Structure 1
Amino acid sequence: MDTFISFTNQSQGRDRIFRATQYACAFAKYLMRNEAKRKELLKKLQNLESNMSSGRKLLRLGNTVNSIHAAKSTLCISDPVLRFCLTVANLNRGLYFICDNILWARSIGLIREIDKESWSLNASRFYFLSLVMNLTRDAYVIAQLMVQRSQDRHYQQKVSQHLSESPDVACVIVPQLDAFLFLLFESLKSHPSVALDTLKNVCDLFIPLDRLGVYQTNAGVVGFCGLISSVLGILSVLRPNLKIKP
């Protein structure tokens, strides 16, 4: 109970609950889209999804400042690749929140003379760029972990044993591929925070890709990916050791 109270008292915790509910509604709507008997339920899910989206926009009003502050902090990172990826990601995230705040102001009537579609597309572009930078960081960290792991003598013994015991044809034809996948699995297994962050960013990537028309799927895929990434985000808040650093 104390963990739940602590979680809901955090703005990040509330936002992730709202986000998970929003995408759960979108996914449920897609699954029941052809069921004529559930029109009333579909309408309720639509209203709940809309309310969750509006609530999240209100909770995110201060996130632009947080993103700019985070960008200033990442400028101090000694590793040039991490410094570049995280700073650019935070700046794009800040620009995304600016667009999001303007869209929220328009939705409640504070601003009228703006092109909603244009600002929405710009928000998706900044969100996409932020995710790309975060995924680049993830790939860089994974590569570093794999190099470190491959130099470990204990791991070298494990991979030799794995290859000798695996009768699969692919292991005989492409032993390098099997060794690479085994190394990748072992590296992520020992660093769950990196695996979780990578999976979360990959799931999130489908949302702006669909919105921008780069890789169009359907509302079901977007809802499912958004729900999975939201659950992973909740885990990272509940268990800080699962949050990737820096």
Structure 2
Amino acid sequence: MEILQNIPITIDRQVLFAQAHIRPESEDDRILSELIAAIEPGIRPKAIYQRAYIDGKDEQGVTIAGKRFTSAVLSVNLAQIERVFPFIATCGVEVEELTRPHTDLLHQYVLDLLKEQVLRAAIAHLLDCVRTRHAPGQIAIMNPGSLADWPLTEQRPLFALFGDVKRLIGVELTDSFLMSPVKSVSGIIFPTHASFENCQLCPREVCPNRRAPYNQTLAEEKYHLSM
């Protein structure tokens, strides 16, 4: 198990302010720049991952390090794979606590974008570590809750792989299987010879985070999903 805590992060204010449509040299620019400058030193993104091996497979799912994961899509993706990298990454409880007192709606929106930027930095660092330390080749990721085939309830066995995740990196699984801090993500990294994005199997038309178009042929022919 690897815990990643000293993750380098530099907030890109220009990107944040462009996303929030904040005019340069405006009063909002000044106030938010001062706010971010005060918050930035306390930001502590974190991630945890482990190298794990597949114990068993069938058409409905896989068993990884003794934990059962039920997903036909995951089973197809791991059909020829023996080694995977379960993970959890987070913006960190520190930035969550630092941003909580601010009630101005614009400030809340920008700080939410900031936490997303911090989370992306944590994920990028995690992926760099996996590539450098384990040389998996081309990789893809699946996340519980990203597809109907692999619902949020599958967070439970993933968290169970790591034990006390709250103590290790500050992330807690709620009764509804959401994570706290909210800007956290979990999943399984796996080697692949073909590119894969969860979005390819999701027919939802309106999604701001879509990374690839829906591929109905792929969904039906390779994964046997009927929408």
Q: Per residue, is there more helix in 1 or in 2? A: 1
Q: Which has the higher contact order (CA 8 A, sep 6+)?
A: 1
Q: TM-score, structure 2 length as denominator?
A: 0.26
More strand by share: 2
